[in-house]
Structure 1
Amino acid sequence: MNGYERRKQKKAEQIYAAAFDLISKFGYSKVSINEIAAMAKVSPATIFNYFGTKEQLYAETLDYWVDKQIEAYENILASTRSFPDKIKEILLLEADNVKTYFDHTTSPLDTETSSFLQSGSEEKIKQFFINIVELGKQEGYIRPNYSEDIIQAYFKMYINEFSRLLQQKKQAESTQQIEQLLHLFFYGLMEKK
């Protein structure tokens, strides 16, 4: 990457950060391109040159955000921690991210943009999920006879409940419930005899 491309990438990252921050705080419809430009320290023309429309900026910002989350999860997965510790951290981060995403994605994206964003994100998430399952099977934490679909449904079930609990105020009760859910996730409902 040459100097021009690095500068362009840095500007795009500034714009993504400003857009996500402002839209997260105020909502899509209440934030203008001028406000995003001011926070990113670029001109509104730069945003239009890079992204074309506010809607496209929003879609690409969300896509960029998903990429950053997956990158963080991949770093956790590549760490030397135990598989259960990795999964615990990933589940908690994902539940928090799901909450953040749905709290701040109320924009009127057109069908084409929404479909592009969803399909691109789903493919990235699916590939990461496959990596988790393979590692879990290799290390003996996931039974090899379970299908990917069943394992994925299991993960989604827990992530949905974690997200619900995280939406509550962070109280000791929520923390205790999350710990119990994590125990159930790894060991199931039945005690071994």
Structure 2
Amino acid sequence: MNGFGKQTERKRSAIIEVAGRKLAELSYNRATMKEIAADAKVSQVTIYNYFGSKDELLIEAVRGMMDEQLEQYRRRLSEEADYSKLVGGIMLEEARFVKRIIACVRQSADSGFVHARLREYQDVQLAPFLIELVKKGVREGRIAEDLTEAELLFYFGMYQREMIRMLDGSDREERTGAAGAVSEERFIDFFFHGLLSPRFRV
């Protein structure tokens, strides 16, 4: 990478870092592009040239968070020997991470557009890891061998959609008291074991 390329990458990184910080502080929706540019020590024109819009900048910042989170999952996959602890830990972390993402998306100007873009990115990035995670379970006899990749992705997708709905408070008034009382841990337990009694679980 030449000097110009390095300078461009430094500016992009600085802008994304500022955006990520404001998202974490829940102040991104109130921040102007002028303020973001000043904090990143770049011009507003530079931000528009690199990202096009404030929502596109948000998407890039959240993608970076997703990449970091996925790297943590990969490290756990290589380090954790107990499969139940591995999967349970990853799913609990994912539930907490989804809360962060929901909070970020709510700070966008067009949450539907941003959510769709992030979902596409996550599907592409997360799918290979999920397949790898399941294959480990198959090798250890914890997961059925005859499941296809399409079936597994359908199952994980179903789980994730319902988890997002459960964690997103926007429809809270529509849910019954019983549904709203399901904890993250219980939800993950339902996902893996259904209604089976512990004595019948593998």
TM range (shorter): 0.7 to 0.9
Contact persistence 1:63–1:117 (CA under 8 A): yes
Aligned to 1:132: 133
Please state how far the C-alpha of 1:184 moved relative to its aligned partner: 5.6
Aligned runs of 1:64-79 on 2, under 5 Å? Answer: 64-79=64-79
Q: Distance in 1 between matches of 2:154 and 2:145?
A: 12
> How does the TM-score come out when normalised to structure 1?
0.72
CA distance in structure 1 between the aligned counterparts of 2:165 and 2:56, rounded to whole angstroms: 31
In structure 1, runs of 5+ residues without a counterpart are: 165-176
How far off is 1:104 after superposition?
2.4
Please provide the CA RMSD for this pair.
3.6
Relative to 1, partners in 2 of residues 1:3 and 1:84: Cα closer, same or farther, differing over 3 Å?
Answer: farther
Q: Which runs of 5+ in 2 are unaligned?
A: 169-182
Task: Give the structure 1 partner of residue 160 of structure 2.
Answer: 156
1:95-114 to 2 correspondences below 5 Å: 95-106=95-106, 107-109=108-110
Aligned to 1:11: 11
Correspondence 1:170-185 to 2 at 5 A: none
Q: For the Cα contact (< 8 Å) 1:23–1:104, is it kept in 2?
A: yes
Which residue of 1 is the match for residue 179 of structure 2?
A: none
In the alignment, what sits opposite 2:198? 191
Contact between 2:19 and 2:28, CA under 8 Å: does it hold in 1? Answer: no
Deviation at 1:183, TM superposition (A): 5.5
- What is the TM-score with the length of structure 2 in the denominator? 0.70
Letter in 1 for 2:56: Q
Aligned-pair CA distance for 1:64? 2.5
